[in-house]
Chains A and B, each alone.
Chain A
Amino acid sequence: AQSVTQLDSQVPVFEEAPVELRCNYSSSVSVYLFWYVQYPNQGLQLLLKYLSGSTLVKGINGFEAEFNKSQTSFHLRKPSVHISDTAEYFCAVRSNDYKLSFGAGTTVTVRA
């Protein structure tokens, strides 16, 4: 069975501080990995994705994520956050049978 675990439901952080959002997955097959973001009162949009190749993936708005196959993790990071990064972040896994599963989400609140 395929599942996605986001280890932190809420992450408060001060502006210009770094942030890391943790994601672990379980799957018996090869997967593609994603991070999506949902800003308040908006739909989901893709931040970044890992399909193959380099395990360090860079996305929009200064975010990056690292795929670790041995630890089955795909943690998201940003070295310096802005108030505008306040949003809910979702980790997702897509297996080769096209099943696309999401984690429960992490709410990031950036404070001045």
Chain B
Amino acid sequence: SQTIHQWPATLVQPVGSPLSLECTVEGTSNPNLYWYRQAAGRGLQLLFYSIGIDQISSEVPQNLSASRPQDRQFILSSKKLLLSDSGFYLCAWEETTEAFFGQGTRLTVV
């Protein structure tokens, strides 16, 4: 069966430090992959999505970037975190139009 792994679950980082959040999917090939940020009252904000290796679409101009070095790996990064980058980040993959979500990462920038 297919599973999605997202880590770490929680992260506290100082302002100006780099960020790397990783998401991997098992049990499927060539999945569509997504990064979202979830905030109370704002729903899920689509940050990036990818339909294949090196095929990444960015939805919101901001301090973050995404990469897909392998078919089933999707990484969210930042070179220098801002306080406003704090939030709950969700990775998701899609198969036959149903999306499945990771457990999320709670990022606090201090």
User: Measuring CB to CB, which residues of chain A are less than 8 angstroms from any residue of chain B?
Assistant: 6, 9, 32, 34, 36, 43-44, 46, 49, 51, 90, 92, 94, 98-105
Contacts and interface: CB of A to CB of B under 8 A. Distances in A.
The secondary structure that dominates the A interface is strand
Interface residues of B, number: 22
B57 A46 contact: no
Contacts of B34: 100
Contact of B32 (A43, A98, A101): A98
Interface of B: 32, 34, 36, 41-46, 49, 51, 57, 59, 92, 94, 97-99, 101-104
Contacts of A92: 99
B43 A103 contact: yes
Nearest to A36: B99
Contacts of B41: 9, 104-105
A13 B99 CA distance: 28
B46 A100 contact: yes
A39 B32 CA distance: 25
